[in-house]
Amino acid sequence: MKVPSSKCVFCRMSTTFKLLAVPLCSICRDQIYDFFWVTLVQITLLVSGAINGYMFVIEEILLFIVLVIVKHHIPAPWDKH
Q: 22 lies in a domain?
A: yes
Q: How many domains does the chain have?
A: 1
Q: 10 lies in a domain?
A: yes
Q: 77 lies in a domain?
A: no
- Predicted confidence at residue 79, as pLDDT, reads 64
Between the CA of residue 5 and those of 15, 20, 48, 50, 75, what are the distances in Å? Answer: 5, 16, 43, 44, 25
Q: 1 lies in a domain?
A: no
- Identify the helix (H) or strand (E) that includes residue 39: helix 26-48
Q: 65 lies in a domain?
A: yes
| Other beta carbons less than 10 A from residue 66's beta carbon | 13
- Predicted confidence at residue 47, as pLDDT, reads 92
Per-residue pLDDT tens digits for 6-56: 888 777 778 888 888 888 888 888 888 888 888 899 999 889 988 898 988
Domain that residue 65 falls in: 6-70
Q: 80 lies in a domain?
A: no
Of 9, 4, 5, 34, nearest to 20 by C-alpha is 9
Give this prediction's pTM: 0.66
Q: 54 lies in a domain?
A: yes
Q: 43 lies in a domain?
A: yes
